[in-house]
Structure 1
Amino acid sequence: MVVPSPLSIVARSALHLRDAGPATVNELSRSLEISRTSVENAVTVLSDSALIIDAPVQSGSGAGRPARQYSFHAAAGTVVGVDIGVASVRVILADLAGRVIVQRSFPGVEAHADGAAKLSAVIDDVRQTLAGASLPSSKVRAIGVSLPGIVDDSGRVTLSVVIPEWSGIDIGSQLRQAFGCPVAVDNGVRLAAVAEHHLGVAQLVDDVIYLSVGNRIAMGLILGGRPRRGIHNAAGDIGRLAFRGLNTETGQISWRTAGTAAEVFAAARAGDSDAQDELDAFIDELAHGIATLTMTVDPAMIVIGGGLSAAHEQLLDPLRAALPRHLGLPFQVPLAEARLGAEAAAHGAVVHAFQRHAADVYGIEDMPAPPITPLPHEPASPTPEEKQ
């Protein structure tokens, strides 16, 4: 478990106003158990940085002027999360309190001819989203980016078999030049795991295997409460190796009885025995691979995301039944459906930006990332066919 360092008084004051709501100096002093003078000094710093503003004061019944109340100025800036894929690009705008204010989807980068055109399209998607929300680029404090590939700590793509034109390209630097703010880039499945840990089904669970099962199988790891990158930033890029029968270069799933997973699932539901046999074999192999990963990492939870994760009666339920047979252990590891669905990586990108660039977002070095609040979820979860 991650043990946080003690926060400064300025950060503690800002954190209280951000997450608990408006307060007076006396209320902050009592809640934080620090002197009034220390709080006054912190409030001066936060006011000078425009991170707090005066809150409306309700008149009380007593005599005299009501105490001055402060509130966190969430609208002072914006943090952007971008999830880049060949089929879609998702852009999320959040205020400084972590509330998502805008969420948009655009066509993916696959149709664009080369790496430069793909990047230009992504930049245009972000600019369109900001313009639609009447937010100037100058208000963007940081950008988090999710993309398919191995990414180093500076934002350079070491290798991407999905967007090969970006292999060797410093995407983080390109976006920093375009928007004039810090940019944090990481692998999409890893950031989906970050999102499920920060605001999804794996909150408060510090050791998590996140497995994305869709057209491909890919993995993200949360160990000790932190995303595991590894010395070469390749930790978790194991789907193509841990699960037999996949394309060994891309992790792509091949189906024998139909062209796509959606068609195999539909045929099995319609009573096609060959399709059902193929699905049963796939689930058994999936359970075998998950068992191998489980014995390697010993997680507290396994989260299944990706396009097939909503297929309870056809995938998750039989997978839960098959996994103990492969593990052969006297305990069970919970296996849960991801909560954030296709939006996980974009939300994880927002979290990543807050975590990596707190000093730029807040002007405070030790300010923790906020609890991200997504937009209300639209009804009716899509079926596996709709997600393909």
Structure 2
Amino acid sequence: MRIGLDIGGTKTDAVAVDGSDKILGRIRRATGHGDEAVVTDVVDSVRELQEEAGFDFSDVRSVGVGIPGLVDSTKGHVLHAVNLGVESLDLAARAGARLGVPVAVENDVKAAALGAAALRGSDARSSMAYLNLGTGVAAGIVVDGRIWRGAHSTAGEVGHISVDPAGRLCTCGQRGCIETLCGGGALARAWGHPGAFPVRDIFDAAEGGDPEALVLRGDLVRGAAAAVRVLILSTDVQTVVIGGGITALGTRLGDGIRTALMTDADGSPFLRSLRLDERIELLPSGSPAAALGAALVGVHAPEQEIAIHG
């Protein structure tokens, strides 16, 4: 039995996975704030899953954790997980000591990329990027069933590629980053109206003809299309799977991105030849990709992590 946890700023999604990668149990619980609360979340999530799925704790082989921030996956150390109130945390060591089983830690988007590859049944020779459109924008890349990290573990940080030097100021200090166009946080700030899901409000208002909303909706789909282009042109992955909270918009988002990709390719025979609009997929809203990917990370050493087994 392997346990995978996706620790987000407000909730933790956890799954129990058997030896054939079948999810036997799943829970969601509120996420705590601060070092001790995050460690306790890991421990309590495992215990709750044990009750939910009815397995013996002695059957647990490993626990994998996907978490935002800068993650040293070799040491299981987390830096700058700001939304969780974590500045520097030896999560693997502290949680492992309390659970008595090996704990592995990975960046949440990289874990989600591995889980998305497993869910879509990618074969071991395929290549895929997972584009996360949430509060921020980032991607994880899976090549030959393994996470591709790059020289400094920043492979996939497309959110901070500037596509408009005169655009909005990004939290990273640059202007016109992709994240300023299609990140949920940046869009909510630009919209400026209260709401539980500002991006949905923007789409609804745009469909009603609101001029400001039309601009912001256009920014979102153009920014997401730019991220897809960057990922495919720089890595030539076969598919870009789009996930994250904004995918709750469903076909409104997918159709908009495809239209933007086709529009951008109108004047470029080169881009048309790449058929970018045919190489994207939307992950179903509520998918356990991140938690499943964490479970797969947990059972393998970093140099051996494989999305698909057998």
- CA spacing shift, 1:79–1:332, aligned 2, 3 Å: same
What SS does the aligned partner of 1:230 have? coil
Partner of residue 277, structure 1: 215
Amino acid across the alignment from 2:9 = V
The alignment status of 1:348 with 2:265, answered yes or no, reads no
| 2: CA distance, partners of 1:136 / 1:277 | 54
Amino acid across the alignment from 2:21 = G
The alignment status of 1:121 with 2:41, answered yes or no, reads yes
- CA spacing shift, 1:208–1:288, aligned 2, 3 Å: same
Higher CA-based Rg: 1
Partner of residue 261, structure 2: 323
What SS does the aligned partner of 1:185 have? strand
**Residue 203 (structure 1) shift:** 5.2
Partner of residue 84, structure 2: 163
After superposition, the C-alpha distances for 1:24-64 in whole angstroms (9 at most, x for unaligned) are: xxxxxxxxxxxxxxxxxxxxxxxxxxxxxxxxxxxxxxxxx
**Residue 172 (structure 1) shift:** 0.9
Partner of residue 126, structure 2: 206
Contact 2:131/2:139 (<8 A) preserved = yes
Identity %: 27
The higher relative CO (CA closer than 8 Å, separation ≥ 6) is in 2
Contact 1:305/1:341 (<8 A) preserved = no
| 1: CA distance, partners of 2:207 / 2:71 | 40
Unaligned stretches of 5+ residues in structure 2: 174-178, 180-184
Contact 1:211/1:304 (<8 A) preserved = yes
Partner of residue 26, structure 2: 103
What SS does the aligned partner of 2:200 have? helix
**Residue 370 (structure 1) shift:** 4.3
Amino acid across the alignment from 1:295 = L
| 2: CA distance, partners of 1:242 / 1:92 | 36
Contact 2:115/2:307 (<8 A) preserved = no
**Residue 340 (structure 1) shift:** 6.8
Unaligned stretches of 5+ residues in structure 1: 1-77, 358-364, 372-388
Contact 1:240/1:248 (<8 A) preserved = no
| 2: CA distance, partners of 1:106 / 1:207 | 33
TM-score, normalising length: structure 1: 0.65
**Residue 279 (structure 1) shift:** 0.3
Partner of residue 90, structure 1: 13
| 2: CA distance, partners of 1:248 / 1:229 | 23
| 1: CA distance, partners of 2:283 / 2:71 | 24
TM-score, normalising length: structure 2: 0.80
Name the count of aligned residue pairs.
Answer: 284
| 2: CA distance, partners of 1:86 / 1:168 | 16
**Residue 235 (structure 1) shift:** 2.2
What SS does the aligned partner of 1:355 have? coil
- CA spacing shift, 1:212–1:234, aligned 2, 3 Å: same
C-alpha RMSD of matched pairs (Å): 2.9
What SS does the aligned partner of 1:168 have? strand
- CA spacing shift, 1:247–1:212, aligned 2, 3 Å: same
Contact 2:27/2:48 (<8 A) preserved = no
Alignment of 1:135-174 (within 5 A): 135-152=55-72, 153-165=74-86, 167-174=87-94
